[in-house]
Amino acid sequence: MNKVMFFAHLRDAVGEESVSVDLTGKTVAEAKAILSEQHGINLETVMTAVNEEFAGDDDVLSDGDVVAFIPPVSGG
């Protein structure tokens, strides 16, 4: 199983800070497609972090990986 975290407008849209989904063996791009579909959110311009490090669309997820969707940041 995988923990998937949402922030900023995505958290508002999903209504949860995180959800549990099994994404084992899926790529980041596939994970995005699945979560977009499930929650009706647009993840096209959103970066993805796996275990607190930015990941590419082709990276493959393992069981237990923590996935976070990172909208364009606006700190500072």
Footprint of another protein (CB under 8 A): 5, 7-9, 11-12, 42, 44-46, 49, 52-54, 68, 70-76
- Residue 27 CB, nearest approach to another protein (Å): 20
- Which of residues 20 and 74 has its CB atom nearest to another protein in the complex? 74
Q: Are 21 and 6 in contact (CB under 8 A)?
A: no
User: What are 14's two structure tokens?
Assistant: 């999903």
Residue 34, classed as helix, strand or coil, is helix
What's the rounded Cα separation, in Å, for the pair 14 and 25? 24
- Residue 50 CB, nearest approach to another protein (Å): 10
